[in-house]
Structure 1
């Protein structure tokens, strides 16, 4: 199964990127996922279910430990993995 994750972390700071946002992006960018897109108000990535779920677990733990007070995320099934 392939999944797509979309997420944001809060609180926002328009003057300087908060540590929790940097950590969350680093987790997603380092997770070996496909179609990674990071932006100031939202981030997305796609990949196999195991990879995405492992990345989401790490993202939540590390972002919260780095000061996030809220993490909004959505996970969608986008199709089946091809061997």
Structure 2
């Protein structure tokens, strides 16, 4: 199965990326995922079930440790690995 995760961390700072946002970005960019898109108001990544779930666990832990007060995320099934999707 393939999954997509979409997430944001708060509090926002429009002048400079806060430590929790940098921590989340590092987790996603170094995880075994593909189709990573990191932006100022939302982030997405896709990958295998194990890859996404491991990244989400690490992202939550590291972002909270770095000062996030809220993390919003959504995980969606986008395929079963055999070309069949849940879009």
Stretches of 4+ aligned residues off by more than 4 angstroms = none
1:8 equivalent in alignment to 2:8: yes
Q: How do 1:1-83 residues align onto structure 2 when only pairs under 5 Å count?
A: 1-82=1-82
List per-residue Cα deviations over 1:55-80 (Å, max 9, x = no partner): 00000000000000000000000011
TM value normalised by structure 1: 0.97
The equivalent residue for 2:85 is none
Aligned-residue CA RMSD (Å): 0.6
What SS is found at the alignment partner of 2:51?
Answer: helix
Question: Unaligned 5+ residue runs, structure 2?
Answer: 83-87
TM value normalised by structure 2: 0.92
Instruction: Report how many aligned residue pairs link the two structures.
Output: 82
Question: Unaligned 5+ residue runs, structure 1?
Answer: none
